[in-house]
Structure 1
Amino acid sequence: MWVAWTVPAVWLLLAVIDRVVKRKGRQRYRLFLERYGLSVSLGRIQFYTNRVNHLLVRFSDFFPRRWLQAWFTVGVVIGLVLIPLSVGVLVFTLRSFIVSSDEEARDPLLVPVLPGVNLPWSQLVYFLVTIAVSGVLHELGHAVAAVSENVHIDGVGLFFFVMYPGAFVDLHTQHVTTLNSIQKLRIFCAGVWHNVIIVFVCLLALYCLPWILFPLFTSTQGAVVNGISKNSPVYNNLVVGSVILSVDGQSVHSKADWMALLSKISQHGFCANKSSLKRMYTRAVSLSLSGVVECCQNESLSDFCFHSSEPLWDTKKRYFCLNARKFTAGLHCKQTSDCLGKSVCLHPSLDSESRLFRISHVGSKDVIFVGHPMLLHQTISLTDYRPRINLFAFYRLPGVTETFLLYLISMSSALAILNSVPVYYLDGQWIFSAAVDTFFKDWSEEIRTKLTSGILMIGTVLLVLNVILGLTAVLNVNT
Structure 2
Amino acid sequence: MVFAVGRKNQLWVSLIEKALAKTYGNYAILKAGRTVEGLSTLTGSPTLSIDLEYVDLDRDSRNAALDIAIVHEAGHAVAAANSNVRVTGLGVFLFAIYPGAFTEVEPDQLERCSCAQRLRIFGAGIWHNIVLALLGVLILLLIPVLSLPFYSNSAGIVVVDVDPKSGLYGPTGLRAGHHIQRINQCEVRNASDWAACFGQIWETSRPHPAYQKGFLAQFKAVAQMTASNGHIIQDHSDGEVQCCNEFNVSNATHICFRYLAPLSADVQPSEGPSAEKQTTTPKPIFPKFPDFDAEFGVKSDGSALQHAQAVHLRRKRANLKMLRFLVTGQARPVLFIGYLDEPLHMVEVAELTPRFGLIPWWMPRVAELFARYLITLSLAMGILNAVPCYGLDGQFIGATVVDYFCQNWPLSVRKRMSNMLVTSGTVIFCSNILIGFARSLFNNH
TM-score under structure 1 length normalisation: 0.59
1:295 to 237, 241, 247: 241
Q: 1:400 — aligned with what?
A: 366
1:253 counterpart (181, 186, 189): 189
CA distance in 2, matches of 1:340, 1:134: 70
Contact 2:257/2:313 (CA < 8 Å) preserved in 1? no
Kept in 2, the 8 Å contact 1:224–1:244? The answer is yes
Q: How many residues align structurally? A: 354
Verify the 8 A CA contact 2:157 2:352 in the aligned structure 1: yes
- Match runs of 1:191-230 below 5 Å: 191-225=125-159
**1:54-84 deviations in whole A, cap 9, x for unaligned?**
xxxxxxxxxxxxxxxxxxxxxxxxxxxxxxx
2:77·2:103 contact (CA, 8 Å) conserved in 1? yes
The separation in 2 between residues aligned to 1:411 and 1:349, in whole angstroms, is 49
- RMSD in angstroms over aligned alpha carbons? 4.8
Which position in structure 2 is the counterpart of 1:135? 69
Deviation at 1:402, TM superposition (A): 1.7
Compared CA separation, residues 211 and 432, structure 1 to 2 (3 A): same
1:271 matches 2:213: yes
The structural deviation recorded for 1:340 is: 11
Match of 1:428 among 394, 402, 423: 394
Does residue 286 of the first structure (1) align with residue 235 of the second (2)? yes
Report deviation, 1:466: 3.5
Question: Deviations for 1:296-354, whole angstroms, at most 9, x for unmatched residues?
Answer: 354644334689xxxxxxxxxxxxxxx9988983237xxx99x9968999676388xx7
Give the Cα separation in 2 of the matches to 1:114 and 1:253: 36
Deviation at 1:153, TM superposition (A): 0.5
Q: Relative to 1, partners in 2 of residues 1:264 and 1:188: Cα closer, same or farther, differing over 3 Å? A: farther
How far did residue 2 of structure 1 move?
A: 3.0
Q: 1:265 to 1:139 in 2, by over 3 A?
A: farther
User: 2:143 & 2:405 partners in 1: Cα distance?
Assistant: 43
Which amino acid in structure 1 is aligned with residue 372 of structure 2? L
1:315-334 → structure 2 map (5 Å cutoff): 329-331=295-297
Query: Which one has a bigger Cα radius of gyration?
Result: 2
Cα 1:424–1:403, aligned 2, differ >3 Å: closer, same or farther? same
Listed one character per residue, the Cα deviations across residues 115-160 of structure 1 (whole Å, up to 9, x for unaligned) are: 228x834422111111111100100011001101111101112111
Q: Does the CA contact (< 8 Å) of 1:263 and 1:374 recur in 2?
A: no
Q: CA deviation at 1:273?
A: 9.4
The superposition leaves residues 427-455 of structure 1 with CA deviations (integer Å, 9 ceiling, x where unpaired) of 11112222233344455545543443333
**Does residue 404 of structure 2 align to residue 438 of structure 1?**
yes
Does 2:179 correspond to 1:243?
Answer: yes
Deviation at 1:163, TM superposition (A): 3.4
Aligned-partner SS, 1:215: coil
Q: What are the superposed Cα offsets for residues 148-186 of structure 1, whole Å, 9 maximum, x if unpaired?
A: 111110111211123321000001111111112211111
Residue 285 of structure 1, CA deviation: 4.7
Displacement of 1:7? 3.4
Q: Is contact 1:233-1:376 (8 Å) kept? A: no
1:7: which partner in 2?
Answer: 12
Q: Which amino acid aligns with 1:385?
A: L
- Report the 3-state secondary structure (helix = DSSP H, G, I; strand = E; otherwise coil) of the residue aligned with 1:395: coil
Cα distance in 1, alignment partners of residues 81 and 383 from structure 2: 25
Q: Which runs of 5+ in 2 are unaligned?
A: 17-44, 207-211, 220-225, 246-250, 260-288, 306-311
Higher helix residue share: 1
Question: Is the CA contact (8 Å cut-off) linking 1:112 and 1:467 kept in structure 2?
Answer: no
User: Which residue number in structure 2 is paired with residue 349 of structure 1?
Assistant: 317
| Percentage identity across paired residues of the two chains | 25
